[in-house]
């Protein structure tokens, strides 16, 4: 890639974090921050169009593919899922209790047999 940041004159690497000005010029994220905020400049370093920090498109990543995180649409789905989860958990608890009771009964039966054998 043959594009350079006009502030520090370094070329962009695939891993660089890049900010874009509203006029379409690209700079290192940090270089542009320094230019606009630390030096209080109000123009694009490249073409001198007047810009404000709010107009900067921050953090363009050249390399990483667009993040496609799937956010569940609407809150309804997740609350329904939560309900289902709670129902399942209740069922598991019930099973556990039944298991324990069965074990207890089994123990009692064992003890009973033991007494009988004596």
Binding site for Zn ion (CB under 5 A): 5, 7-8, 21, 23, 25, 28, 31, 44, 46-47, 49
- Bridge partners of 71? none
Query: What sections of the chain are H helices per DSSP?
Result: 29-33, 75-117
Q: CA-to-CA distance for 30 and 11, rounded, in angstroms?
A: 14
Q: Provide the minimum distance between the beta carbon of 23 and Zn ion in the complex, in angstroms, as a whole number.
A: 3
Q: Which is nearer to Zn ion, 25 or 56 (CB)?
A: 25
Q: Provide the minimum distance between the beta carbon of 49 and Zn ion in the complex, in angstroms, as a whole number.
A: 5
Q: Which is nearer to Zn ion, 49 or 55 (CB)?
A: 49
Q: Provide the minimum distance between the beta carbon of 32 and Zn ion in the complex, in angstroms, as a whole number.
A: 8
Q: Which is nearer to Zn ion, 13 or 113 (CB)?
A: 13
Q: Provide the minimum distance between the beta carbon of 14 and Zn ion in the complex, in angstroms, as a whole number.
A: 15
């Amino acid at each position: 890639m043959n594009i350079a940041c006009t502030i520090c004159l370094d070329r962009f690497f695939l891993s660089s974090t890049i900010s874009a000005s509203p006029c379409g010029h690209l700079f290192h994220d940090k270089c542009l921050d320094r230019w606009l905020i630390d030096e209080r400049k109000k123009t694009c370093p490249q073409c001198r169009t007047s810009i404000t920090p709010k107009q900067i498109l921050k953090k363009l990543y050249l390399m990483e593919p667009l993040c496609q995180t799937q956010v569940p649409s609407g809150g309804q789905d997740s609350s329904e899922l939560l309900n289902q989860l709670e129902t399942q958990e209740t069922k598991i608890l019930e099973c556990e209790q039944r298991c324990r009771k069965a074990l207890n009964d089994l123990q009692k039966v064992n003890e009973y047999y033991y007494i009988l054998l004596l």
